Chain A
Amino acid sequence: MTNLNELTIADARDLLRKGEATAVDLTMACLTAMDAGDELNAFVHKTPDIALDRARAADLRIKAGDAPAMCGIPVGIKDVYCTKGVLSQAASNVLKGFRPEYESTVTQNLADAGAVMLGKLNMDEFAMGSTNEHSCYGAAVNPWRRDGDDTPLTPGGSSGGSAAAVAADLCLAATGTDTGGSIRQPAAFTGIVGIKPTYGRCSRWGVIAYASSLDQAGPMTKSVRDAAIMLGAMAGHDPKDSTSADIPVPDFEAMLTGDIRGKKIGIPREYRIEGLPAEIAAIWDRGTAMLKDAGAEIVDISLPHTKYALPAYYVVAPAEASSNLARYDGVRYGHRAKLSQGDGITEMYEKTRAEGFGHEVQRRVMIGTYVLSAGFYDAYYNRARKVRALIKRDFENVFADGIDAILAPISPSAAFGLGDVADSDPVAMYLNDVFTVTLNLAGLPGVAVPVGLNAQGLPLGLQLIGRPWEEGDLLNHAYVLEQAAGFVSKPGKWW
């Protein structure tokens, strides 16, 4: 029998309901795997006592007979979610020691559904990064390695700890957040599934903000079915988030019919960028063929403003970040710098933020400050918002033409070595996000599905992009791709 920590949510749920395993058994198996996985640096705060308390409570609920699907399922929580009484630092030194007095809506929804929190997961500081190297805890490490090569690889970012933990079976699933690809890219780098829902599907309340008009919470799981189950538990209207949508959450799992006959799949020609590596082009073609074989109609489409998504993103996101991160001033929570004789409040702010923010966060806050400053607001920020409107319109046009989902690459490469992208070259680093930021700008849902391995034995994924609020239909497309790809590979255990 499979070890309990290696199960999918769906299989674990069935075992729990049949009484063939208990939530305590599952949790113990994950806690053991978590402790054995310290070299991955995925879990940065462990909460075994909370986990066992919740597992025991879940077992009582399951015995009583009306437990929801997530009841008793051990999950990891990205450090960006505020969890009551448990360190929540968004991987930043500026939030060192921060123990929120409240629980984020999404983690509360999961707790209400009976999910078991194992601990908090590594990430790029304030979710700014694509490698998980920008973390006050140090980098999380990808459980995957190239064949015959023990170079440590990035799990991607920003939700790198979540991806590493799920891929290495330290937990059954994890929460992530996606501002510019932070769920989908790490999912692709580690061979797991991750969905960024429509903007407004999950409450942002209690999720430490990066860029409020782009941030969205979502699940990272071992299968599409699990993503459907967990998203259902995370989502829902929340009066505490004014951008949270007041619309019903359907039963996403029930929408996984496996039938996409007659659906129209758009293949955006602008994503076939110059210099697209052959392995990425090949996996994209394979994925396209799989959907065609499943009875979908493949349509060549154009999203003409794609090229401008990345520069628009790197204006809008830092602008919002500079405003959101103004709250870290050394007064209400987290770090405060030691002051010298004669230092006033301005020195306190400046020293606190210089000591507390990592280099990439400082850079983005300053870029944001610049593009919002007098004289540049129109030239950069307003222009970027106009381009954003055009990017959104591109998607609206193809959906209006009857396209049901769009198939595209996630990242220009498979996972690469930690330290391979120089910190001093921000533009090279940002190019990782070229395929993912478009749908954050447009607010659309996107799901990453593992499709195959490259020549070096590393996972490659593809993303499907759907219509707003139609995550169920999108997940059904992803389910068909998953079934056709039959991706079952696991990283060889070295940790």
Chain B
Amino acid sequence: MSIDIDTARKVAHLARIAVKEEDLPALAGELSAVLNFMEQLNEVDVEGVEPMTSVTPMRLKRRQDVVTDGGMADRILSNAPDAREGFFAVPKVVE
């Protein structure tokens, strides 16, 4: 499986990482090398094997769906690059 430049551009966009046009060929090459390495997985007979979903066979604990904590907006915002009036501030999303 080889990744072309258009696919590399698309993957970068899906990952929300800006990649300069001139860097796309190198990126496509690196991604292709990794994917070629993964092709080995096609040698394995996985007929009838269930995909592994949990590492240890345990039932996840359940809990009541209730509020257990809160009332600390200032602490939650303390690391925000831009916080105003108790909210995270972002560029305008709706025209």
Chain A residues close to B by CB (< 8 Å): 97-101, 198-200, 213, 239, 242-243, 245-246, 305, 307-308, 310-312, 314-315, 322, 326, 329-336, 339, 343-351, 353-354, 357, 362-363, 365-371, 373, 380, 382-390, 392, 424-427, 430, 442-443, 468
Contact = CB atoms under 8 A, between A and B. Distances in A.
A385 B52 contact: yes
Q: Is the interface of B mostly helix, strand, loop or mixed?
A: loop
A468 B18 contact: no
Identify the interface centre among B12, B38, B39, B80: most chain A CB within 10 Å of its CB: B38
Nearest to B26: A424
Nearest to A468: B56
Given A308-B41, A383-B41, A427-B37, A390 B46 contact: yes
Nearest to B42: A383
A346 B75 CA distance: 26
B78 to A, nearest CB: 6
B66 interface: no
A443 B72 CA distance: 36
A11 to B, nearest CB: 35
Contacts of B72: 101
A246 B51 CA distance: 25
A334 B81 contact: yes
B56 A198 contact: yes
Contacts of A350: 13, 16-18
A308 B44 contact: yes
Contacts of B18: 347, 350-351, 353-354
Q: Is the interface of A mostly helix, strand, loop or mixed?
A: helix
- Sort chain B's interface into a size bin: 35 or more
Contacts of B12: 366
A370 B31 contact: yes
Interface in B58-87: 58, 60-61, 63, 72, 75-76, 78-82
20 contacts: A99-B79, A200-B55, A200-B58, A213-B55, A243-B56, A245-B56, A311-B37, A335-B81, A336-B81, A345-B92, A353-B18, A357-B17, A363-B34, A366-B17, A366-B31, A370-B7, A370-B31, A388-B52, A390-B46, A430-B34
B17 A344 contact: no
A371 B39 CA distance: 12
Contacts of A310: 37
